Copies of this chain bind each other. A is one copy, B any other.
Amino acid sequence: MGNRVTIVDVAERAGVAISSASAALNGRTGVSDKTRARVRAAASDLGYVASLRAKSLSAQRAFAVGLVVERAIDVLEADPFFGAFIGGIEEVLAAEGYALVLQMASKADEAMQRYRDLSANRRVDGVFLNELLVDDPRIMLLEELGLPAVTINSNRVPGVPFPSVRQDGTQAIHDVVGLLARQGHVRIAHVAGPVRFVHSRARRRAWSAAVAEAGLREGPVFTGDFTYESGWRAAAKLLRADVRPTAVVCANDLMAVGFLMHALELGLRIPEDVSVTGFDGIALGTYVRPTLTTVKTAPRTLGAAAARGLLAAIRGENVADVDIPPAQLVVRESTGAPPVSA
């Protein structure tokens, strides 16, 4: 344990000063090619790997970034977003010698505390701001803390000092509604996410605008919480109304599947009696019957872009907002022409 190879050993073996060894190893200029080669050889002979601890302390960087997932922990199970998102993050982080510190919080104030700690003990050099709230308190907190950050899928808000990495879903939702309208649907409902989320609002606005654009009146809106159960409840509510919507655009797949399953349970046929669409493009949507028409997002690509943006922000670069290619409509079996009686 204590017999670890340090830069001192490397310098000694190469017959140079420690500072030269450091410069050589880190690709800094000011060392002759000969010296650099000798140092490199010595390092590889000795199997030298720099201690991240010492490096962190002296370089004043943690070489790690943080992701705080705020979620009632049981709910996380059903949310496949993070797996792929984290995969994308890791992909670029690993290449840069950075690591991901993953934290979990079940409530908002707990999450705030995690950010505070992460900053106070300097465990990370920057963080991801996922699932933004309207007037998200984390923004101001991180600004105060001076911790670099990137926001994920937020709108470009003027006051916010952090770059945003997004995948637009607006166009795809327009496509969804357009598809339904062309199929003859007139009463198109929406199952929304909690209003506090920026992306819930964006999806609802997109639905709203698309419906108007199609020359239709807005159907009823049910506000869920992105869970299967709330999709189920949405069906109970919307399908029991005197005049049923013939199509329901849901703000995520899990709610759409909950809705769909309950509709089937009520004896309705999909899409003959009611069309259902989701958002996300999770695998579950292909397991159910009928398979779910949805908007396919790219969490992995998003994660990679977010990581690149965050690393750039940490390096102090002036990073612009980035938009990855927009989400795409994927038409499957849960959408079709409305009942003629409607």
Contact = CB atoms under 8 A, between A and B. Distances in A.
Interface string A80-114: 10111011001100100001111110000000001
Contacts of A123: 52, 99
B122 A51 contact: yes
A226 interface: no
B100 A102 contact: yes
- In this complex, the interface size class of chain A, counting residues with CB under 8 Å from chain B, is 35 or more
Given A53-B57, A53-B122, A77-B283, A146 B1 contact: yes
A112 to B, nearest CB: 14
Contacts of A62: 52-53
Nearest to A54: B57
Contacts of A257: 287
A64 interface: yes
A228 interface: yes
The copy count of this chain in the complex is 2
A83 B62 CA distance: 25
Given A101-B100, A103-B90, A122-B52, A77 B287 contact: no
B300 A287 contact: no
B1 A228 contact: no
B102 A86 contact: yes
Contacts of A268: none
A104 B86 CA distance: 8
A54 B102 CA distance: 21
A328 B36 CA distance: 61
A121 B287 contact: no
Contacts of A49: 117, 120-121
A74 interface: yes
Contacts of A64: 101
A228 to B, nearest CB: 6
A79 interface: yes
A316 to B, nearest CB: 12
A141 interface: no
Interface of A: 1, 49-54, 56-57, 60, 62, 64, 73-74, 76-80, 82-84, 86-87, 90-91, 94, 99-104, 114, 117, 120-123, 146, 228, 257-258, 261, 264-265, 282-284, 287-289, 300
4 interchain residue pairs of minimum CB distance = A49-B120, A76-B83, A77-B80, A90-B104
Given A52-B122, A87-B104, 5 more contacts: A76-B83, A76-B84, A83-B83, A94-B114, A264-B289
